Chain A
């Protein structure tokens, strides 16, 4: 079976120390997620509450993505969730990072990942018969 190229992009993001978990998701649905064993253990301890908060944020994304909502983030305990929304969709690239990490540098690579995933999505649409 062929590997999902979006999974490759997500797995690459997980190589960064600061990215504790990442996925492509939408409201009540995770579209692409790396093997959870690659998520940093500390984030798994509060995964359930993060997941619930994420679902609520996806409600906001669904409401406003067509209006141009591009990014959204929240801090929960010692973690921050960054949502990079794919334009005109309800899907977002999500990453969990430690609170107060150098987001200036992390978000440069998040944007690279979003662009790469967008390209993959566009190619998929073009090649789908």
Chain B
């Protein structure tokens, strides 16, 4: 085995995986390098290529240039999807700037790419377009094990004339106007909340045999999705994969329950904005519960980074779903996604808990996978800061040089076999293959 690249015999066929990486600032050069580093060690061309980059190429040549660089080197016809991410961890390090990729080569695999447009305004129809392309592309596939890797346009904030971009409005009147009337208008502009829940439910319904793992592309302001040589916004892109090796998807939410609970009594924007809690203005009740005073916060970012980010919500009715506060419009609380019930319990997260739980999840993961792909909450970094490097240390401790790529996501989505799909924050979701005749990838005695 070579560093960050692996090749093995499985079912008399060869599977290879490799991680690509670039820290170049110039988009074109980064595109070339991320492919070069990924494929130079592969003996056969990749069956698929997952590409992720931070937002920085937006101002350093643009994402079209990044993809031009990619296709300067990547063999023509290789199926490619990807998108922008907040940060990422791979065998090379832990970064919040750069480009990275996972290239996998295997003969007993069928791949189809799906894309659905206008997710903000018509998420269901976007999911249908995407599912239909995957169904069509894989209709003749003879392989039994099925997975979808998706990248969905996450929440974006529109830039309004004279007002600019905002996530927090103090005025009760303006906040109510936004919450009840204008927020819908953002969707027509291709902006606003991500609608990941609708998309994943529809994909799961239309493709019931598939396990799903994915993320919302990007940060809170902008995000982009990639399909082959095209750059998109406001889309869902997905890689449908049928393979003859068992697919393992593991998922966990890293947090603990607090005793703080409340009951949602009124919502708007199709259950994505909480207007009343226990029949009182929502923001006041949340602030009381968190024991904070609105005079403490000059602006939303102060509340978001210092308090809100430590307290995601879950629902007594569906504990697999977790949500965070995305903005405050007057008395109303804007969420990342639809509520999954009326009875909310606040969760709490600490840095120590994140590191400890991730260690346990990796320790219990499959020992016989040629690569590991992870979608984890980029909110971890908001708590861990430079100690995000500790996650990298845990991954190295168990996987060593075996290829792994962990992508930092704003909102994660997952569907494990025979379970309901869920959209969540603060989760750590892992895709591996199960190849029993493969060497044990756990690298040291301590980890066994």
Chain A: residues with CB nearer than 8 A to chain B? 15-17, 71, 84, 100, 102-112, 114
Given known pairs A71-B386, A102-B382, A104-B383, the reply for A109 and B96 (CB within 8 Å) is yes
**B residues in contact with A105, CB < 8 Å:** 86-87, 96, 378, 381
Does B68 have its Cβ within 8 Å of any Cβ on chain A? no
Query: Whole-angstrom distance from the CB of A40 to the nearest CB of chain B?
Result: 15
Docked complex Cα distance between A106 and B95 (Å): 10
Given known pairs A16-B97, A100-B305, A105-B96, the reply for A110 and B87 (CB within 8 Å) is no
Query: Whole-angstrom distance from the CB of B377 to the nearest CB of chain A?
Result: 11
List the B residue with the shortest CB-CB distance to A84: B386
**A residues in contact with B301, CB < 8 Å:** 100
Docked complex Cα distance between A108 and B387 (Å): 7
Given known pairs A102-B382, A104-B382, the reply for A112 and B305 (CB within 8 Å) is no
**B residues in contact with A109, CB < 8 Å:** 95-97
List the B residue with the shortest CB-CB distance to A110: B386
Docked complex Cα distance between A111 and B386 (Å): 6
Given known pairs A100-B301, A100-B302, the reply for A106 and B96 (CB within 8 Å) is yes
**B residues in contact with A110, CB < 8 Å:** 386
Query: Whole-angstrom distance from the CB of A55 to the nearest CB of chain B?
Result: 24
List the A residue with the shortest CB-CB distance to B86: A105
Query: Whole-angstrom distance from the CB of A111 to the nearest CB of chain B?
Result: 4
In contact, A108 and B87 (Cβ under 8 angstroms): yes
In the complex, the 8 A-B pairs of residues with the closest C-beta atoms, listed nearest first: A111-B386, A104-B381, A104-B382, A107-B385, A105-B96, A107-B386, A100-B301, A108-B96
Does B25 have its Cβ within 8 Å of any Cβ on chain A? yes
Does B208 have its Cβ within 8 Å of any Cβ on chain A? no
Does B388 have its Cβ within 8 Å of any Cβ on chain A? yes
Does B209 have its Cβ within 8 Å of any Cβ on chain A? no
List the A residue with the shortest CB-CB distance to B379: A104
Q: Output the residue of A16, A106, A109, A110 with the most chain B CB within 10 A.
A: A109
**A residues in contact with B379, CB < 8 Å:** 104
List the A residue with the shortest CB-CB distance to B408: A105
Residues of chain B from 343 to 386 with CB closer than 8 A to chain A in the complex: 378-379, 381-386
Docked complex Cα distance between A112 and B392 (Å): 12
List the A residue with the shortest CB-CB distance to B304: A100
In contact, A104 and B384 (Cβ under 8 angstroms): yes
Contact with A along B380-406 (1 / 0, CB 8 A): 011111101100000000000000000
Docked complex Cα distance between A118 and B366 (Å): 35
List the A residue with the shortest CB-CB distance to B25: A15
**B residues in contact with A71, CB < 8 Å:** 386
Given known pairs A15-B25, A109-B96, A112-B93, the reply for A103 and B388 (CB within 8 Å) is no
Query: Whole-angstrom distance from the CB of B411 to the nearest CB of chain A?
Result: 16
Docked complex Cα distance between A117 and B225 (Å): 34
List the B residue with the shortest CB-CB distance to A71: B386
Docked complex Cα distance between A103 and B389 (Å): 14
In contact, B305 and A108 (Cβ under 8 angstroms): no
